[in-house]
Amino acid sequence: MIDTAHLSPAPRPLDRDGLRDSVRDKLVYQVGKDLRHATRHDWFLALALAVRERLVDGWMPSTRRVYEEDGKRVYYLSLEFLIGRLLGDALTNLGLHETAREALAELGVDLDRVLKVEPDAALGNGGLGRLAACFMDSMATLEIAGMGYGIRYQHGLFKQGFDEGWQVERPEDWLAFGNPWEFERPDAVYPVRFFGRLREERDPSGRRIHIWEGGQRVLAVAYDTPVVGWQGRHVNTLRLWAAQSGNLVNLEAFNRGEYMHAVEDQVLAESISRVLYPADATEAGQMLRLKQEYFFTSASLQDIIRRHLGYHASLDNLPEKVAIQLNDTHPAIAVPELMRLLIDEHGHDWQRAWTIVRGVFNYTNHTLMPEALERWPVGLIEQLLPRHMQLIYEINAHHLAELRSRPDNHDPFLTEVSLIDEAYGRWVRMGHLAFLGSRRVNGVSALHGELMKHTVFARLHHYFPEKITAITNGVTPRRWLMTANPALSSLIGRTIGDGWTRDLGQLEALAPHAGDAAFRAAFAAAKRHNKEVLAALVGKHVDVRLDPDALFDVQIKRIHEYKRQLLNILEAVALWDEMRQGGAAGAVPRVRLFAGKAASSYWRAKLIIKLINDVARVVNADPATRDRLTILFMPNYNVSLAEKIIPAADLSEQISTAGMEASGTGNMKFAMNGALTIGTLDGANVEMRDAVGPENIFIFGLSAEEVLRCRRIGFAPEEAIARSPRLARALELVESGLFSPDDPGRFRPITDDLRGLDHFLVTADFDAYWNAQRRADALFADPEAWRRQAILNVAGMGPFSSDRAIRTYAQEIWQVPLEAAPAASAFAA
């Protein structure tokens, strides 16, 4: 048990009768419904409002305490927060799950049915946004005075459906029934300017001052959501900005009958927070995307400054009192924006302002793919944010002059470290801007941190060797184990106690139980239960029967060429073919489960979805293999679906081309829930292998170093294909039109690419992947051995809690004090 005496007192418990009465009151007085006519949705709102009241009970003292202590605050700026549903999570953290179940039962309502109607808040695309959500949970749990800043998108990530196997996108509408969690703050409003002109003046002392005027001015309005930590001891705030026009309706135009024109201003302004960009890594946004980035960054910085000046005489001590984390480069415009606020609005001189900026910001890099590194045309920034372009030039001039004067510099042009990329056109490198304006720059796994030093930031790293560090991502065990997998978490609780919920390192104590047959049986029963639940869910929506005895082999994540869903489906084709021919005797019955969205403009990814669906249709209809192989692509992947699939998985597919997945967090969720991993030595898979032992994970394929070498000296897919009859056969089957009789050439773009460039080295890793899958078959055929390894995976997941990640950020980057830390969950290395 951990000592909790130093923690804030837990809020008073709420009993069943209290909660029941509260829910009834909310239903009548806030939802405005009679008990007899209330829909499931009304009950959801009533329960959420009752629970929110409990959150507020903790929120007020937390906020007051933070003000009184006047310690350092942490701000997490992220264009995405993939928070998902909040009710189940809040009940878990407040310890109210069973109370709520009983209270609702007394009202004749089933809690599980109520939990299901909450919309899934998909204010993010994937891993980056989900990381921000897990970090919010951990900051609250560790009682760090943290605040998240983002955008309150009216429409989150699109809903995915299939039309004859093709992805179709439908708008998402999470706010349709109102959002019971948020508080609108009409008093927390900031103006944000776009376009306009620059003018120079002299102030009375003769100093040059810059005035930015005209253009478009929109208002950022705050919406606050309380974020409760484990056991409700501390509650932080997620503040999301909505865009509004500063002008009301144009009455003159309205009275002339020009109704569209009359509201034009509002429509334009509100478009900024209308939709989440479905951009994922490779896709560059347009003007509106840059507007979104500046909009939320500027509003957040103004808010931070206002709060600071409410308690301090000046901004000089900002770096002692504030740490701001930039989640990727989306908020990198914060660097010139804080310069502008300090110089133009608060009268600081350039040098002092730059010192403050570099003491406040820190930047997390999430990708090394050249096509995914954000850069904006100089002309676009000049037009939209003229003052910022001027400041970027100034920062660049100082930066280059400083490097030129250094004795270790032998490069007169410094093209690689310049903030401006002038190779083809002129672009602002947002990664370089964030790097330069930050105190620390971090990668998200050990491997990724190392690669940063040798690839994109190699030259900058040479000049600033102390800046780059690596902090491996983590996930919150409260949502991803406790809430998502009650069967396994209660078994863990019965076996080693409940301390793991706040100190995941305690899972280590499970390791000895891997040798205990009774424990293995209980572990298997929990997994079996989860597989049955998933099979029932699938059966309700599609006409596919999942056999809970089969190996559930799962790849769920964004569809991206580097994540190599293609490798997975090609291996499935080869396996099916071998089964048809009477081979593959050692292959156990499998369900190959896929889920994931493709960015709407990522044509190749959409074609891969179609391929998987086409293969699934043919394979699932084959009576010869029906009992041994089922392929299923579940539509509309999101946090809620992940929470259902992951606890039911036996095998977790983490098969990216080595060097391309910065960390991954899906990999951690699966292993925590007792799945074995089949994966490459990429991202955090490397550290997971070290944590669970190489004998308890199926590692295959080229290393990151070998991938780089392949790319350098050139790689010949035709040789790999010639060496692998199975791969050759799988490709030929796809090319034959067997899976697409209506359009036999449909997948030629994919197969031609595999035979031509194969940039993601699918053909190079195919045989190694096949062999790793057969090792998985062999182990699964020995259930006791499989369970033993699965248990050891859970036992090894201590380091992959987001609590550990946040504790490391707090110590190494933000330099904020922590309550005594449970030491067991630190990395051993």
Ligand X SMILES: *Cc1c(COP(=O)(O)O)cnc(C)c1O
Kindly list the residues in this chain that would bind ligand X in the complex (CB under 6 A). Answer: 82, 126-127, 130, 557-558, 638-639, 642, 664-666, 669
Least distance from C-beta 693 to ligand X, angstroms? 22
User: Do the Cβ atoms of 607 and 560 come closer than 8 Å?
Assistant: no
Nearer to ligand X, 489 or 636 (CB): 636
Nearer to ligand X, 126 or 331 (CB): 126
Distance separating alpha carbons of residues 229 and 502, to the nearest angstrom: 10
Distance of alpha carbon 245 from the chain centroid? 30
Least distance from C-beta 494 to ligand X, angstroms? 27
Which DSSP symbol is given to 61? H
Considering only CA atoms, give the Rg of the chain. 27
Nearer to ligand X, 160 or 266 (CB): 160
Least distance from C-beta 552 to ligand X, angstroms? 16
Told to judge if 669 belongs to the known catalytic residues of this protein, a careful annotator would answer yes
Least distance from C-beta 126 to ligand X, angstroms? 4
Task: Report DSSP letters for 403-434, one per residue.
Answer: HHTSTT---SS-TTT-SEE-SSS-EEEHHHHH
Least distance from C-beta 215 to ligand X, angstroms? 37
Nearer to ligand X, 220 or 658 (CB): 658
User: Which residue out of 557, 590, 610, 787 is catalytically annotated?
Assistant: 557
Told to judge if 432 belongs to the known catalytic residues of this protein, a careful annotator would answer no
Told to judge if 33 belongs to the known catalytic residues of this protein, a careful annotator would answer no
User: Which residue out of 234, 291, 330, 366 is catalytically annotated?
Assistant: 366
Least distance from C-beta 576 to ligand X, angstroms? 25
Q: Are strands 81-84 and 121-123 parallel, antiparallel or unpaired?
A: antiparallel
Told to judge if 116 belongs to the known catalytic residues of this protein, a careful annotator would answer no
Least distance from C-beta 664 to ligand X, angstroms? 4
User: Which residue out of 375, 527, 592, 669 is catalytically annotated?
Assistant: 669
Told to judge if 606 belongs to the known catalytic residues of this protein, a careful annotator would answer no
Nearer to ligand X, 786 or 800 (CB): 800
Distance separating alpha carbons of residues 657 and 759, to the nearest angstrom: 9
Nearer to ligand X, 389 or 608 (CB): 608
Q: Which tokens hold the place of 487?
A: 């069967």
Least distance from C-beta 96 to ligand X, angstroms? 24
Buried-state track 687-718, b at ≥16 Cβ within 10 A, e below 16: bbbbbbeeebbbbbbbbbeebbebeeeebebe
Query: Under 8 Å CB-to-CB from 791, ≥6 apart: which residues?
Result: 510, 511, 513, 514, 519, 520, 523, 674
Distance separating alpha carbons of residues 655 and 570, to the nearest angstrom: 13
Q: Which tokens hold the place of 561?
A: 């060429």
Indicate the residue whose CB is closest to ligand X. Answer: 666
Beta-bridged to residue 241, according to DSSP, are 151, 222
DSSP SS3 for 332: coil
Query: Nearest-CA neighbor of 177 among 121, 241, 234?
Result: 121
Q: Give the helix/strand (H/E) hosting 669.
A: helix 666-672
Distance separating alpha carbons of residues 635 and 594, to the nearest angstrom: 9
User: Do the Cβ atoms of 794 and 669 come closer than 8 Å?
Assistant: no
Query: Under 8 Å CB-to-CB from 519, ≥6 apart: which residues?
Result: 495, 513, 791
Query: Nearest-CA neighbor of 702 among 768, 773, 771, 774?
Result: 768
Runs of H (alpha helix) within 504-649: 517-541, 565-580, 603-620, 639-645
Burial of 533 (C-beta count, 10 Å sphere; 0-12/13-18/19+) = middle
Nearer to ligand X, 300 or 667 (CB): 667
Nearer to ligand X, 513 or 669 (CB): 669
Q: Which amino acid is present at 723? A: R
Least distance from C-beta 449 to ligand X, angstroms? 17
> What beta strand segments (E) does 328-394 contain?
361-364, 375-377
User: Which residue out of 364, 665, 677, 763 is catalytically annotated?
Assistant: 665
Q: Are strands 322-327 and 73-77 parallel, antiparallel or unpaired?
A: parallel
Distance separating alpha carbons of residues 277 and 167, to the nearest angstrom: 17
Nearer to ligand X, 73 or 85 (CB): 85
Cβ count near 558 (within 10 Å): 20
User: Which residue out of 26, 399, 531, 558 is catalytically annotated?
Assistant: 558
Q: Which tokens hold the place of 469?
A: 């560090």
- Describe the strand order of the beta sheet including 375-377 as a list of residue ranges: 375-377, 427-429, 420-421
Distance separating alpha carbons of residues 753 and 605, to the nearest angstrom: 13
Nearer to ligand X, 232 or 683 (CB): 683
Least distance from C-beta 82 to ligand X, angstroms? 6
Nearer to ligand X, 665 or 808 (CB): 665
Least distance from C-beta 563 to ligand X, angstroms? 7
Query: Under 8 Å CB-to-CB from 799, ≥6 apart: which residues?
Result: 472, 474, 504, 505, 687, 691, 825, 826, 827, 828
Residues in the chain: 829
Told to judge if 540 belongs to the known catalytic residues of this protein, a careful annotator would answer no
Nearer to ligand X, 570 or 595 (CB): 595
Least distance from C-beta 201 to ligand X, angstroms? 50
Helices (H) and strands (E) in the chain, counts: 33, 24
Tokens 């929990």 sit on residue: 526
Nearer to ligand X, 319 or 666 (CB): 666
Query: Under 8 Å CB-to-CB from 216, ≥6 apart: which residues?
Result: 193, 194, 195, 196, 268, 269
Least distance from C-beta 134 to ligand X, angstroms? 8
Catalytic residues: 366, 557-558, 563, 665, 669
